[in-house]
Amino acid sequence: MEENYSTLIKQAVRAVLKPKGMFQKGSTRIWIDDNGWFFTVVEFQGSWCDRGSYLNIGMQHLWNEWEYLFTVCGTREAREGTWVGYKGNVEIFSQEITSLAETALERILEYRTLADPETAKTIPLISSVIAPFWPAWNQFMTAALAGDIPLCLELESKVRRALERVPIDGAEELLTQILFLLDEPQKIHAYIVDKIIAQRAYWRSKPGLKRLSVHPEYG
């Protein structure tokens, strides 16, 4: 009897990622690495027309109120490699998925080096699958979290250019609100941390994410 290819994916991925401190969202193909103020989201994405998996990896910044987990943006494009398809050979497919998971782990460890906002603030973020506002905004907010007000003012123009390319409802108001607080670094830091705490509590309330730990600074 042919073994279920989806089970093979989950088993191979779990063997690589779980020992490194990542956790799976319920029984889905999404894995989370918790970096306090952002998640590294890893998705072993399926296809409606074939059996197998793509690999997508990116950051989800927790000052944004998203209602679902996905690879919003990152230091590189989210899609890694190409499609790995199941052709009936269990051993070969398991090896290929293990290799895909090992690639994911390499990227996860790279993103862990950005857990300090001071380190992450100068690194541009990109995404070709979402409005350009979000990568620009997330770098701007990283600088704000790090308390680097001069860098925030430099990045403001980048955020505005992104909004000129693709307008986002409510984005101008968000930017104005943060700019208003830039003269008071303690207030802006508290404002952003409160946003992160609320979003972490939101995710912790969801099925499959109740194991999300309480962070000493970000809740």
pLDDT digits (tens, 9 = 90+) for 162-211: 999 999 999 999 999 999 999 998 899 999 999 999 999 999 999 999 99
pLDDT score recorded for residue 1: 32
Quote the crossing angle between the two packed helices 185-204 and 171-181, to the nearest 10°.
130
Over residues 15-29, the mean pLDDT reads 95
Long-range contacts of 156-162 (CB under 8 A, 24+ apart): 159/133, 161/136, 162/131, 162/132, 162/133, 162/135, 162/136, 162/137
Question: Does the pLDDT value for residue 10 go beyond 80?
Answer: yes
- Please report, as a single letter, which amino acid is at residue 192: I
Average pLDDT value for residue range 50-70: 95
Average pLDDT, the chain: 95
Average pLDDT over residues 126-150: 96
Measured in degrees and rounded to the nearest 5, phi and psi for residue 67 equal -105, 5
DSSP notation for 42-65 = EEEEEETTEEEEEEEEEEEETTS-
- Is the pLDDT assigned to residue 158 strictly greater than 50? yes
